[in-house]
Amino acid sequence: MFWFYHADTCIFVDGEHLIANVPGRILWRILKQHQDEQRAEFTNRELRMDSWLGLPEWKETCENRLILLRKRLKEQWPDVRLLSRERGRLAIETSVKSRWSEKPA
């Protein structure tokens, strides 16, 4: 089970801190759309354009956050993977059905 805490935009998985701030918001947005809309593919551009994520306008910032997020998932939550697809695209793959919850601000 994982939790998203809006107050400090962090994600916990099975009671352990996974990631916070911008990478946490990116992961939350992707997981939520994956579950709610059955989406599996996303573009870097749509992430950069999503004002809720709070990314600066520099392209490299989004890429750096995705690299950090992929590394953290690989180390601490290997059931969820963000994979690079063709240029500017990524996909989410999960080996388990995740249960999640939100904690308000």
- 16 domain-assigned: no
Spell out the residues 6+ positions from residue 65 whose beta carbon is closer than 8 angstroms to its own.
Answer: 22, 23, 26, 55
- 74 domain-assigned: yes
- pLDDT value at residue 98: 66
Domains held by the chain: number: 1
Q: Which helix (H) or strand (E) holds 19?
A: strand 16-20
- CA atoms of 98 and 81, how far apart (whole Å): 13
Of 35-39, 65-69, 93-97, 100-104, least confident by mean pLDDT is 100-104
- pLDDT value at residue 8: 86
- 6 domain-assigned: no
Q: Which residue has the tokens 């992929």?
A: 70
54: left (phi over 0), alpha (psi -120 to 50) or beta: left
The per-residue DSSP string of 78-93 comes to: TTEEEEE-STTEEEEE
pLDDT, greater one: 70 or 14: 70
- 92 domain-assigned: yes
What is the radius of gyration, based on Cα positions, of the chain? 13
CATH of the domain at 80: 1.10.10
- pLDDT value at residue 104: 74
For residue 40, the enclosing domain spans: 22-97
- CA atoms of 9 and 78, how far apart (whole Å): 21
- CA atoms of 41 and 39, how far apart (whole Å): 6
Confidence check: pLDDT of 99 > 80: no
Confidence check: pLDDT of 97 > 90: no
- 7 domain-assigned: no
- 77 domain-assigned: yes
- pLDDT, tens digit (0-9, with 9 covering 90-100), for 26-83: 999 999 999 899 999 999 999 989 999 988 777 678 888 999 999 999 999 999 999 9
- pLDDT value at residue 63: 87
- 65 domain-assigned: yes
